[in-house]
């Protein structure tokens, strides 16, 4: 995997593999997520059933395995590797094979059962088809969710692998795994600063189909998480992650003049009766933005302002119209109330800071302590800059649209609209379960 995981010693712990005892009473286990609950209910019903003869029992066991495999085919499965034995290239990975009385087995787990990230045992994600293709030929079977309440032993001969491939083609839906609110039912932190900080990433968790309240982030497995960080952020190691995390928490990634434009409207509103930003005249807003920019630059030599100064002023003044058009669409689509405006885009950097902490942890560039510190710092920053979950959401959506959408109101915007509606209506949303203001906390945002 290239560079050694230099922070590994700080996170060394015993829970490298899932180890969850079965409940004393059948049906009493609370699964961490929907897939695991589905598998548990399936196994519980099978265990409680009776059959007239061995032939019927054998047929039922076969039906159970097919149903279990079908459920696996709809999601990713995760295979553990020693850190030094995995690779971004699946063909170069060395599977950890267990020699058992029933043959050579490879352990496989569903996402909800993964333990907190370990420095020296990591997980890579597979579809059922890719697992069929990549498992060594001499592997006789897979032990799925071993040492948990939902174990299943599956043969992995070539005939069975063809079944896996067929089930994948029938049931895999890449789009069906994204744009959905996922909430862990167990293993989430209690209400407090950590959970609040995790909730700030709910928009991106919705887009990616990840549990918003999961502090033990594995994402799409070690290699894919590193690939995504490199592609979208240029982060390929610990130092780059630390710098990016710091800049996001300092709100130093979003262009400063976005907030400057919104602050200019707030200043004008405070000088008017009623103090409503939505009542500020657009022409007066543009004039305020331009005049303030020119006043701030008046004492600077022309060479420091740069040859593109006039173009820059025109661009910043032009943001007024862009913000107004986005706000009109936000109001029409329910992201803002009828007279609402966006107060701040601080949420765009802060929400990404919450996610960057998880991404760094999953990629093994950050320690568990650094994850917790960054996530709670993001929560503190959000409560200082925003007044409520809807206020935070509107700022996040505007920031994302200014960054990516270019007033096309395309996929970048539609994802935010869908996320906002899910977060504002579903009962297991953080907006329904985590107060934006923590108990006893004074209002911080202006």
Lowest mean pLDDT among 54-63, 268-277, 382-391: 268-277
Helix (H, G, I), strand (E, B) or coil at 297: helix
Tokens of 63: 């039906």
Confidence (pTM): 0.94
User: Taking all residues of the chain, what is their mean pLDDT, rounded to a whole number?
Assistant: 94
Cα-based angle 322, 446, 334 (whole degrees, multiple of 5): 45
| Eight-class DSSP state of 299 | T
Once rounded to an integer, what is the mean pLDDT over residues 281-286?
Answer: 96
* Among 138, 31, 27, 126, CA closest to 81: 126
Q: Spell 138-176 as b/e; 16+ CB within 10 A means b.
A: ebbbbbbbbebbbebebebeeebbebbbebbeebbeeee
Tokens of 252: 């130093």
| Eight-class DSSP state of 255 | -
- Please give the Cα distance from 125 to 276 (Å, whole number): 50
pLDDT digits 0-9 by tens, 229-262: 999 999 999 999 999 999 999 999 999 999 999 9
pLDDT digits 0-9 by tens, 155-206: 999 999 999 999 999 999 988 889 999 999 999 999 999 999 999 999 999 9
All structural domains of the chain with their residue ranges: 8-172, 193-254+346-433, 256-333
Share of the chain above pLDDT 70, in %: 96
């Amino acid at each position: 995997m290239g560079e050694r995981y230099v922070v590994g010693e700080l996170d060394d712990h015993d829970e490298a593999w899932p180890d969850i005892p079965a409940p004393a009473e059948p049906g009493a286990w609370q699964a961490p997520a929907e897939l695991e609950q589905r598998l548990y209910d399936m196994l519980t019903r099978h265990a409680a059933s009776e059959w007239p003869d061995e032939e019927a029992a054998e047929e039922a066991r076969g039906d159970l395995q097919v149903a279990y495999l079908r459920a696996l085919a709809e999601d990713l499965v995760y295979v553990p590797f020693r850190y030094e034995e995995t690779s971004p290239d699946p063909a170069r990975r060395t599977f950890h094979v267990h020699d058992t009385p029933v043959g050579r087995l490879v352990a496989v787990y569903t996402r909800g059962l993964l333990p907190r990230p370990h420095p020296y045992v990591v997980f890579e994600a597979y579809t059922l088809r890719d697992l069929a293709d990549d498992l060594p030929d001499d592997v006789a079977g897979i032990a799925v969710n071993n040492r948990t309440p939902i174990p299943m032993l599956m043969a992995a001969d070539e005939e069975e692998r063809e079944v896996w491939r067929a089930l994948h083609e029938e049931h895999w839906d890449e789009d069906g795994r994204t744009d959905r609110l996922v909430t862990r039912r167990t293993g989430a932190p209690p209400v407090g600063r950590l959970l609040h900080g995790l909730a700030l990433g709910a928009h991106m968790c919705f887009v990616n189909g990840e549990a918003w309240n999961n502090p033990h982030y594995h994402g799409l497995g070690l290699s894919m998480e590193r690939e995504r960080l490199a592609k979208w952020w240029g982060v390929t190691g610990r130092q780059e992650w630390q710098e990016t995390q710091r800049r996001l928490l300092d709100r130093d990634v979003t262009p400063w003049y976005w907030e400057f434009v919104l602050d200019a409207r707030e200043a004008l509103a405070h000088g008017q009766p009623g103090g409503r930003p939505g009542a500020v005249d657009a022409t007066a807003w543009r004039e305020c933005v331009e005049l303030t920019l020119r006043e701030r630059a008046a004492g600077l030599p022309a060479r420091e302002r740069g040859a593109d100064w006039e173009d820059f002023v025109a661009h910043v003044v032009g943001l007024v119209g862009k913000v107004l058009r986005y706000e009109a669409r936000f109001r029409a689509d329910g992201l803002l109330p009828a007279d609402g405006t966006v107060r701040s885009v601080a949420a765009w950097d802060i929400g990404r800071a919450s996610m960057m902490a998880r991404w760094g942890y999953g990629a093994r560039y950050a320690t568990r302590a650094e994850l917790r510190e960054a996530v709670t710092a993001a929560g503190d920053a959000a409560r200082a800059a925003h007044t409520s979950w809807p206020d935070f959401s509107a700022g996040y959506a505007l920031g994302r649209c200014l960054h990516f959408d270019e007033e096309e109101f395309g996929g970048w915007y539609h994802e935010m609209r869908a996320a906002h509606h899910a977060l504002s209506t579903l009962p297991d949303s953080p907006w329904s379960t985590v107060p934006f203001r923590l108990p006893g906390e004074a209002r911080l945002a202006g």
